[in-house]
Amino acid sequence: MFIKMETNSRAEASKSWLANHKDLETQGTLAKRFGKSRTFVSLSLGKKSVTNASEKLVNEIYEYLSKKYGI
């Protein structure tokens, strides 16, 4: 769990959206887009890695999905 509840909510929303829209984006495509490994993306969205880098990535992914797909 991240310290900031907003980040936890963003991680859940992003992960849920990805599960329902695999034809549009996957953790793999997001990893390539943000220059991270798919494992790091998965651990960050699953709240298993809660470093500052993970928190930043979760927020960037959420912002990207919000702007591109309106989640």
Residue whose structure tokens are 């298993």: 48
pTM for this model (two decimals): 0.91
pLDDT per residue as tens digits for the range 29-44: 999 999 999 999 999 9
Report how far apart the first and last C-alpha atoms of the chain are (Å, whole number).
22
CA atoms 17, 19, 20, 22: torsion sign = positive
Pair of tokens at residue 59: 């927020």
The residues near 49 (Cβ < 8 Å, ≥ 6 apart) are 40, 43
pLDDT more than 90, % of the chain: 86
